[in-house]
RNA sequence: AAAGUGCGAACA
């Protein structure tokens, strides 16, 4: 069951939720860990009902299992169900409280988010960070800053989230100052800064951050591809996408979407279609509706209306 | 091997 958990997660990360479920169903010696992993996979796919069904079928459950299902409802913006679980779970821990803070915030309910924060028995670093992020999410940037200032300690997440908060506020200067004022900068910090610069239209400065960052990860590459794709620099985007793979960072659904958008800007139908096939065959990435629509868009613009319609019909999604 | 907080999205 342990190796199946790993496989299940790998499939889920690439968006293959059905395949992940097939793996789960094939396991004869299911345990609480793999069951919880399946619930998490459904949570990430935005399928709380399926998560519930797995939960109900499990014989053994622990606090992680309950938390995981709660998170599935919270992320799907079904707070009444999440609250109900929270109230009835046999064991509640500090992670559960943090989940509720974020869940309420993502539903625009700052009062309940704050109430959870104030009610929890102890303020972990994650709880502080969740509360600050709650304010940022709801556009209360002053309160986010105040929460940040009130923190007894700060970790990488606290700082990076604050950089993002400044960026969202249009206050990129403060964000840059904070990046250089914080004790340690990691890849995620640089990524946040790069994205903030790109969003402000400073593509060249974003690229310089990318080139200079001492640590990078797959998201760094994905972000730079996105920078080019968003600004219509298709060739550069496609080039960086290829470089990402060459550097050993496998593309995920987000990176592939940016790659496809870059292809759309180039406008060559055969290359775009080849990319669409390659993302599935070479990277094992399952196309989301967004990926399909991107290709459909290009086919339509290029006058291939019939092919566009055919593709829509093969989509495993309901077209709007 | 499993849960919460921060960085990358294409949609009108």
Measuring from the CA of residue A258 to each C1' atom, give the nucleotide at the shortest distance.
Answer: B9
Through-space separation of residue A222 CA and nucleotide B8 C1' in angstroms = 5
Nearest residue: Cα versus C1' of B8: A223
Quote the crossing angle between the two packed helices A253-266 and A234-246, to the nearest 10°: 140
Single pTM value for the model? 0.95
Predicted local distance difference test score (pLDDT) of residue A132: 98
Element housing A41 (H / E): helix A32-44
- Low pLDDT (below 50) residues in chain A: none
Which nucleotides of strand B lie within 7 A of protein CB? 1-12
Q: Could you tell me which residues come within 8 angstroms of residue A9 by beta carbon, excluding any fewer than 6 positions away?
A: A20, A37, A41
List pLDDT tens digits, range A129-155: 999 999 999 999 999 999 999 999 999
Predicted local distance difference test score (pLDDT) of residue A320: 53
Through-space separation of residue A252 CA and nucleotide B4 C1' in angstroms = 23
A235 C-beta neighbours (distance < 10 Å), count: 11
A104 closest CA partner among A125, A118, A122: A118
A38 closest CA partner among A23, A84, A28: A23
Measuring from the CA of residue A106 to each C1' atom, give the nucleotide at the shortest distance.
Answer: B5
Measuring from the CA of residue A68 to each C1' atom, give the nucleotide at the shortest distance.
Answer: B3
Through-space separation of residue A156 CA and nucleotide B3 C1' in angstroms = 21
What are the C-alpha distances in Å from A210 to residues A168, A207, A218, A226?
A: 20, 5, 12, 12
Kindly state the DSSP code that residue A28 receives in the 8-state scheme.
S
Measuring from the CA of residue A294 to each C1' atom, give the nucleotide at the shortest distance.
Answer: B10
What are the C-alpha distances in Å from A281 to residues A53, A148, A217, A251?
A: 31, 44, 23, 12
Measuring from the CA of residue A227 to each C1' atom, give the nucleotide at the shortest distance.
Answer: B8
DSSP track, A296-318:
HHHHHHTT-HHHHHHHHHH-SS-
Nearest residue: Cα versus C1' of B10: A290
Predicted local distance difference test score (pLDDT) of residue A89: 97
CA angle A115, A118, A119 (to 5 degrees): 85
A2 C-beta neighbours (distance < 10 Å), count: 9
Predicted local distance difference test score (pLDDT) of residue A106: 96
A57 C-beta neighbours (distance < 10 Å), count: 10
List pLDDT tens digits, range A252-311: 999 999 999 999 999 999 999 999 999 999 999 999 999 999 999 999 999 999 999 999
Through-space separation of residue A77 CA and nucleotide B2 C1' in angstroms = 22
User: What is the rounded CA–CA span in Å between residue A41 and residue A39?
Assistant: 5
Measuring from the CA of residue A100 to each C1' atom, give the nucleotide at the shortest distance.
Answer: B4
Through-space separation of residue A289 CA and nucleotide B2 C1' in angstroms = 28
Contact present, A158 and A187 (Cβ < 8 Å): no
Through-space separation of residue A298 CA and nucleotide B6 C1' in angstroms = 35
Q: How close are the terminal C-alpha atoms of chain A, in Å?
A: 39
- What is the radius of gyration, based on Cα positions, of chain A? 21
A224 closest CA partner among A248, A253, A193: A193
Predicted local distance difference test score (pLDDT) of residue A319: 59
A270 closest CA partner among A233, A295, A305, A243: A295
Through-space separation of residue A75 CA and nucleotide B5 C1' in angstroms = 13
Predicted local distance difference test score (pLDDT) of residue A318: 75
A189 closest CA partner among A144, A157, A147: A157
């Amino acid at each position: 069951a342990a190796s199946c958990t790993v496989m299940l997660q790998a499939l889920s990360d690439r968006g293959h939720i059905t395949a992940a479920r097939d793996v789960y169903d094939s396991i004869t010696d299911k345990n609480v860990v793999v069951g919880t992993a399946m619930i998490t996979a459904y949570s990430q796919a935005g399928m709380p009902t399926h998560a519930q069904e797995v939960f109900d079928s499990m014989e053994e459950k622990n606090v992680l299992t309950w938390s995981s299902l709660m998170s599935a409802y919270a992320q799907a913006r079904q707070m009444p169900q999440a609250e109900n679980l929270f109230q009835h779970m046999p064991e509640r821990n500090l992670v559960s409280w943090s989940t509720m803070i974020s869940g309420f915030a993502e539903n625009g309910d700052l009062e309940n988010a704050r109430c959870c924060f104030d009610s929890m028995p102890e303020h972990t670093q994650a709880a502080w960070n969740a509360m600050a992020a709650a304010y940022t999410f709801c556009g209360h940037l002053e309160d986010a800053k105040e929460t940040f200032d009130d923190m007894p300690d700060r970790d990488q997440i606290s700082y990076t989230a604050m950089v993002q908060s400044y960026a969202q506020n249009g206050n990129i200067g403060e964000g840059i100052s904070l990046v250089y004022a914080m004790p340690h900068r990691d890849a995620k910090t640089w990524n946040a800064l790069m994205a903030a610069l790109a969003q402000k239209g400073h593509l060249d400065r974003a690229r310089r951050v990318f080139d200079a960052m001492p640590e990078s990860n797959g998201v760094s590459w994905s972000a730079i591809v996105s920078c080019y794709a968003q600004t219509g620099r298709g060739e550069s985007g496609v080039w960086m996408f290829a470089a990402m793979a060459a550097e050993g960072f496998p593309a995920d659904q987000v990176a592939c979407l940016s790659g496809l958008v870059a292809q759309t800007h180039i406008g060559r139908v055969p290359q775009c279609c080849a990319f669409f096939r390659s993302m599935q065959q070479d990277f094992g990435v399952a196309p989301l509706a967004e990926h399909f629509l991107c290709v459909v868009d290009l086919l339509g613009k290029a006058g291939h209306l019939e092919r566009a319609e055919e593709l829509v019909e093969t989509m495993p999604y309901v077209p709007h």
